């Protein structure tokens, strides 16, 4: 079984949120892809990794 990529998951999330992935700018597309990657981390039960991904995607420095 082929697993979807974080990019594909992110674009699906964008569609579910009412956004057209074809009309997203590069920055917005990267944000949605990061959300897909974070969702994959959450599915593995890795909340710290999901938080790290979203902090990086949002341009926030993470407290280490």
Indicate the pLDDT class of residue 41, thresholds 50, 70 and 90: very high
Q: What pLDDT does residue 61 have?
A: 57
Q: What are the distances in angstroms from CA 24 to CA 6, 9, 53? A: 16, 15, 20
Q: Which of the four pLDDT bands, split at 50, 70 and 90, describes residue 57?
A: confident
* CB half-sphere exposure, 26, CA atoms < 13 A: 0
User: Could you give the CA distance from residue 30 to residue 11 in angstroms, rounded to a whole number?
Assistant: 10
State residue 58's pLDDT score: 79
Reply yes or no on whether the pLDDT at 64 is more than 50. Answer: no
Share of the chain above pLDDT 70, in %: 92
Higher-scoring residue by pLDDT: 61, 21 = 21
Torsion angles phi and psi, residue 29, rounded to 5: -65, -40
């Amino acid at each position: 079984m082929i697993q979807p990529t974080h990019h594909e998951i992110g674009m699906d999330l964008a569609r579910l949120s009412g956004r057209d992935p074809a009309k997203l700018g590069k920055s917005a597309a990267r944000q949605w892809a990061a959300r897909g990657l974070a969702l994959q981390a959450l599915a593995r039960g890795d909340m710290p990794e999901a938080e790290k991904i979203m902090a990086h995607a949002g341009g926030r420095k993470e407290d280490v």
